[in-house]
Amino acid sequence: MSNHNEIFYFNQDVNYDLKYRIKVIVDFVLRYLYKLILFFCRGQKEKFDTKYNFTICAIFKDEANYIKEWILYHQMIGVEHFYLYNNFSSDQYESVLKPFVESGMVTLTEWPIPQGQIPSYKHWYENFRKETKWNCFLDLDEYICPLYGDNVYDWVKKYEDYPTVKLYWRMFGTSGKMQHDDGKLVTEQYVVSWDKYYDEGKIFYNTSYKIDLFELGMMHNIKSPVTFLGKKVEIPPINEFKNFITKYNINKVKKDFTIQVNHYWSKALNCYFNQQRRGDAVFKESPRSMEYFYWHESKNRGTDYSIYRFLIKLKSLYEQ
């Protein structure tokens, strides 16, 4: 968990001491160094005869109640294909996914591997990377939410010279609900959120560049290797303003974001208990304690209805 005083990535209070000023200078130099390296290494980009412009890879367990909405929503904003890995589900996921698999929208892989999330991403990379221009390693409680446009590929294609783009989480809690209403969509029920972006999020990955490290947390911070002057350099993600995200995290912005990831991380309290029981796809011991829950829930000081602009169309698709 992030330090309690540093959870908000932007608009933090800053102590403008000598140490901070040195970090600003080093951060500035690193950003322009990465730009220079990418310019000279642009010939290392790989080209594929791809099927898709934008895809999603996800692992899931016992999420049959939510997966239809999640697929239809992302299909609606321009995601062309889904690579889904079933990780020990015991619900009716097969019947829910059947029409999507038969239509060719979903590639379903059975993945009975404990803590199988990172291995599933590596499997996707080795088997499906060349089918798409861009991919996002997303969870089923996360929704990519453009704030102005309505097509995710139209948004991301202006970053084709960069390996990865990071989008930040807008965290949503229970909205005061003890029980999830199965008759309503997730995106409809949960609107109470953190008032600022979290310091984590998800990555849009440009498959023209390589990934060589499949490790814990890589879906939040993919680094792509290039060879510069005979040495391997790991290129970090940029944010949407084309600023590289260095280890110093000097990322003040003066413009508004145009996209976010809505992270419905808990949903209602009974959903959180269900998540506790089913375990975690990354950790042997789930971090989802009640202390962890209340800490996140206590940060819900705002509301965010941005995704509501898609809601009527989504409901219409869902009811067909």
Residue among 139, 134, 140, 138 nearest 154 (CA) = 134
Interacting residues of 60 by C-beta distance below 8 A, sequence separation 6+: 67, 84, 85, 86, 87, 89, 93, 140
- Mean pLDDT across the chain, nearest whole number? 92
What string of H, E and C letters represents the secondary structure of the chain? CCCCCCCECCCCCCCCCHHHHHHHHHHHHHHHHHHHHHHHCHHHCCCCCCCEEEEEEEEECCCHHHHHHHHHHHHHCCCCEEEEEECCCCCCHHHHHHHHHHCCCEEEEECCCCCCHHHHHHHHHHHHHHHEEEEEECCCCEEEEECCCCCHHHHHHHHCCCCEEEEEEEEECCCCCCCCCCCCCHHHHCCEECCCCECCEEEEEECCCCCCCCCCCHHHCCCEEEEECCEEEEECCECCCCCECCCCCCCCCCCCCCEEEEEECCCCHHHHHHHHHHCCCCCCCCCCCHHHHHHHHCCCCEECCHHHHHHHHHHHHHCC
Share of the chain above pLDDT 90, in %: 80
In this predicted structure, what is the pLDDT of residue 229? 95
Residue range 5-17: average pLDDT? 59
Interacting residues of 199 by C-beta distance below 8 A, sequence separation 6+: 2, 6, 7, 8, 9, 168, 249
For the CA atoms of 57, 58, 59, 64, the dihedral, rounded to the nearest 10 degrees, stands at -130
Residue among 96, 171, 112, 100 nearest 141 (CA) = 171
Give pLDDT tens digits for 189-237: 999 999 888 888 999 999 999 999 999 999 999 999 999 999 999 999 9
Residue range 94-115: average pLDDT? 97
Neighbours of 202 (CB within 10 A): 23
Question: Identity (one letter) of the amino acid at 207?
Answer: T
Give pLDDT tens digits for 53-88: 999 999 999 999 999 999 999 999 999 999 999 999
- Is residue 284 over pLDDT 80? no
Residue range 183-188: average pLDDT? 97
At 24, is the pLDDT very low, low, confident or very high (cuts 50, 70, 90)? confident
- Contact (Cβ atoms closer than 8 angstroms) between residue 65 and residue 182: yes
The pair of structure tokens assigned to 212 is: 């060589």
Interacting residues of 21 by C-beta distance below 8 A, sequence separation 6+: none
Residue among 166, 158, 185, 207 nearest 308 (CA) = 185
In this predicted structure, what is the pLDDT of residue 72? 98
In this predicted structure, what is the pLDDT of residue 11? 55
pTM of the model: 0.93
At 3, is the pLDDT very low, low, confident or very high (cuts 50, 70, 90)? very low
Residue range 97-109: average pLDDT? 98
The pair of structure tokens assigned to 218 is: 């890589």
What string of H, E and C letters represents the secondary structure of 184-223? CCHHHHCCEECCCCECCEEEEEECCCCCCCCCCCHHHCCC
Report which of residues 16 and 183 the model is more confident about. 183
